Structure 1
Amino acid sequence: MPSPNHTTNAHMEQPWSWISLMFSAFYFFSFFFTPLTLGFITISLTLYFTFVGLFIRLTRCSKKHVVFYIVAMTVLGTIGSGQNPSSSIFYGYAAFFAGFYLTRQQVLIASLIITANLFFSATVYNLWVSYYIFPGLVPLVAMALMGAYIQQNIRYEERERQSGEEKRQLATVAERERIARDLHDTLGHTLSSIALKAQLAKKLGDRGETEKALAEIDEVAKLASETLSNVRQAISGYRHRGLGERLSHLQTRLEAANFKATITNQLDQTDAQREAAIILMVTEAVTNIIRHCRGNEVNITLKNSEGFIQIHINDNGQVERFYPGNGLVGIQERLQSFGGHYTADNSNGFRLALNLPMENL
């Protein structure tokens, strides 16, 4: 938990601190029932401006000087009470700053000490009268509680701010990991293939098998072109213009690869994070179909059902067995980040069902 001084100094200099100083105008009530001699006016004004100076210092001082200035304001109230009974108001402000800066236990001790000074002044200066005791004691208690309340609010705001920063940092780290995973899914396998084919082309060229070497180089060029397209699609997923446009583009890709593609989007509008995740997952599934599917039909359906976003991706390719590769692993990780899951079935073609909660679990 941050110390009060860590979070309060800046707030103490806000306009409300000067508004609170306006209540010190009650100090001048004594001018209406006390003979206004030159000595009384001079001493009263000197006491008041000394109080204002201490008030300003307490709104700006470092924590190590707080106790000194609170003690000084308390002593000022004790000395001033002998000259102007309205000086009891200084005790209330001393209690306020104690509540604002100190711990609960320290506030209790400080409030008792300040109250003892009030009673001491009442005894020494024979001020056991209502116009001295009540204007001193009631604000003392109220302002100590107000100072403690404001301190707790500021601490809460600071914790919320730090929590928000931590969440943003975690989100940044998660986004970096997601991008790294996407790039790995997009580039890892293809770059390995490019490297192997390039090495094979070199060996064939060294043996004088020019035609085979050129065929391998042609495969390298195709793989490089496909990789560039996939990278552009991934980047487009990060900067997506909308799910509908992306689905239309994926349908065009499937048709260009000689698939009869049907894509039905019945989703309600969702938040940007889920939409981006849906775009990347469907894009990965389509890429896998184009690479590995032996069929010629693909059906993709997106809909809302019972609090979930459901995505069904089916093709008619015959698959005897399958192993979750980087693509499905990446899809699973994205789903798990939202509390979702997927199921896969290869009994009649290949069927992939993605279930993504519409709200965070």
Structure 2
Amino acid sequence: MTPVSTTGSGARHRGWWRRVGWAHLVYLGIPAFQPAFDPAPERWEWGLYGVIVLLTVPLYLVPWLRPDRALWGSMVPMTVLGALTVPFNTGAGVLFVYTAATAGISEPRRVAVRWFIGLTLLLGTLTTLSTVPMPWRLWGVVPSVLFVWIIGFTQVEHAERERDATELRLRLARIEHLATVAERERMARELHDLLGHSLTAVIMHAQLVRQLVEVDPERARSVAGDVEGTARHALSEVRSAVGGWRHATVDGELESARDALSSAGVRLTVERDSGLKLVASTEHELALVLREAVTNVVRHSGARTCHVGLRAERGELRMTISDDGVGGRFREGNGMAGIRERVTAVGGELRRRSSSGTTLTVTLPLEVAV
């Protein structure tokens, strides 16, 4: 008997008359029963019925068109109108049902129940003051009392479902926003991991070309070809990453590491357990750790040798990347911070030790790694 929803873009763009539940006004026929079935109705009884209809219709429209004004624009004045007319026409108790329905959908449950109680007590009081003889008096009031509670609670339940649905939509929107932010951060880390290593290799090769172009042109051309190959490989990886197809492997990263370290004059040694098969997600994370670690060796260490170890021991998978460079204090940048987040997310641990050279150690539970 009241609007279920009067907000939203769709509703605002329709004509107001299409947003109103006109069918519920049929219940205004109930107050007509008294003069209609009275063997000798007074003229004022039909006049009172006309006043009830003329005043109720605009009050009924308020919650549909201006839900924010339901209390003082509809509920209170309709209750007053009912209180003034029920003593002379008990069918006007339907006005209290309209009020209960509006309270049920526009007020919190606790407030709505207080309205139901108040309307019930008011109807009972007005019944004792009514000029309508028994039993006609009760036939008009008792159904109104019942429907105050039945329709009122129906509206309360409906309103709570609507509020829950709205809250759920808001939560889903927040989750979608957070997921979008997280995906952007993940893509930023991916691109950093991809391009940081490749661009470092390109810089090292370019510096070597500049040194060799006059003293050894043939080798300079060869290194320039390596620059082109590295750049093309980086472009391919970026395209694959953007398309969601890229999957880094330890073997692939070891080959790239060997080339990058060789260009920087660093010798690479590898010690790996034979037959060690890694699950794809774990291998991807380890490959990115290896890529960032090798990039740091090339950029910062000043090392002559670099050692990579990958083995399973005591229920753990352990990967170490060590060099004989300068070591010392180290400021963790975006790449290592991103790698630490990746390793932690799969239940692993990342440690760094720097004294004579630098050793980076990644440990993962064996059950999630193989």
- Identify whether the pair has TM-score above 0.5, normalized to the shorter chain: yes
Change (3 A) 1:123 1:143: same
Name whichever of 144-153 and 328-337 sits farther off.
328-337
How many angstroms apart in 2 are the aligned matches of 1:187 and 1:300? 27
Change (3 A) 1:132 1:199: same
Cα-to-partner distance string for 1:11-62 (whole Å, 9 max, x where unaligned) = 8999795554444443443354224565433431331242122111122214
Residue 196 of structure 1 aligns to a residue in which SS? helix
8 Å Cα contact 1:284-1:327 kept in structure 2: no
Indicate the residue corresponding to 1:196 in structure 2: 204
8 Å Cα contact 1:204-1:213 kept in structure 2: yes
8 Å Cα contact 1:310-1:353 kept in structure 2: no
How many angstroms apart in 2 are the aligned matches of 1:16 and 1:284? 64
Q: 1:234 Cα deviation (Å)?
A: 1.8
Tell whether 2:17 aligns with 1:29: no
Change (3 A) 1:16 1:54: closer
Q: 1:166 Cα deviation (Å)?
A: 1.3
Q: 1:70 Cα deviation (Å)?
A: 0.6
Cα-to-partner distance string for 1:289-315 (whole Å, 9 max, x where unaligned) = 5435879x9997879xxxxx9999xxx
Amino acid across the alignment from 1:60: L
Name whichever of 187-196 and 85-94 sits farther off.
187-196
Q: 1:170 Cα deviation (Å)?
A: 1.6
Amino acid across the alignment from 2:33: F
Unaligned runs of 5+ in 2: 259-269, 285-306, 311-318, 323-333, 350-364
8 Å Cα contact 2:62-2:73 kept in structure 1: no
Tell whether 2:7 aligns with 1:10: yes
Alignment of 1:147-186 (within 5 A): 147-186=155-194
8 Å Cα contact 1:88-1:136 kept in structure 2: yes
8 Å Cα contact 2:63-2:69 kept in structure 1: no
Indicate the residue corresponding to 1:78 in structure 2: 83
Tell whether 2:233 aligns with 1:226: yes
**Quick one: which of 114, 125, 137 aligns to 2:130?**
125
Change (3 A) 1:285 1:341: farther
Change (3 A) 1:162 1:120: same
Indicate the residue corresponding to 2:256 in structure 1: 291
Name whichever of 66-75 and 285-294 sits farther off.
285-294
Indicate the residue corresponding to 1:271 in structure 2: none
How many angstroms apart in 2 are the aligned matches of 1:95 and 1:135? 13
Alignment of 1:196-275 (within 5 A): 196-205=204-213, 210-236=217-243, 238=244
Scaled by the length of structure 2, the TM-score of the pair is 0.62
Amino acid across the alignment from 1:218: G
Q: 1:332 Cα deviation (Å)?
A: 8.6
**Quick one: which of 92, 96, 102 aligns to 1:91?**
96
Change (3 A) 1:49 1:111: same
Change (3 A) 1:32 1:310: farther
Unaligned runs of 5+ in 1: 241-279, 304-308, 313-317, 344-351, 357-361
Indicate the residue corresponding to 1:51 in structure 2: 56
How many angstroms apart in 2 are the aligned matches of 1:71 and 1:324? 77
Change (3 A) 1:84 1:133: closer
Tell whether 2:195 aligns with 1:187: yes
Cα-to-partner distance string for 1:248-279 (whole Å, 9 max, x where unaligned) = xxxxxxxxxxxxxxxxxxxxxxxxxxxxxxxx
Change (3 A) 1:138 1:22: same
Residue 320 of structure 2 aligns to a residue in which SS? coil
How many angstroms apart in 2 are the aligned matches of 1:353 and 1:187? 30
Taking every aligned residue pair, what percent have the same amino acid on both sides?
A: 22
Scaled by the length of structure 1, the TM-score of the pair is 0.64
How many angstroms apart in 1 are the aligned matches of 2:337 and 2:249? 11
8 Å Cα contact 1:332-1:341 kept in structure 2: no
Change (3 A) 1:38 1:199: farther
Name whichever of 189-198 and 98-107 sits farther off.
98-107
Indicate the residue corresponding to 2:119 in structure 1: 114
Indicate the residue corresponding to 1:346 in structure 2: none
Q: 1:82 Cα deviation (Å)?
A: 4.0
The alignment yields a C-alpha RMSD, in angstroms, of 4.4
Indicate the residue corresponding to 2:68 in structure 1: 63
| Rg (Cα) greater in structure | 2
Amino acid across the alignment from 1:220: V
Residue 323 of structure 1 aligns to a residue in which SS? strand
Name whichever of 323-332 and 137-146 sits farther off.
323-332
8 Å Cα contact 1:342-1:354 kept in structure 2: no
Change (3 A) 1:152 1:335: farther
8 Å Cα contact 1:74-1:91 kept in structure 2: yes
**Quick one: which of 127, 131, 143 aligns to 1:135?**
143
8 Å Cα contact 1:185-1:327 kept in structure 2: yes
How many angstroms apart in 1 are the aligned matches of 2:277 and 2:339? 16
How many angstroms apart in 2 are the aligned matches of 1:122 and 1:158? 41
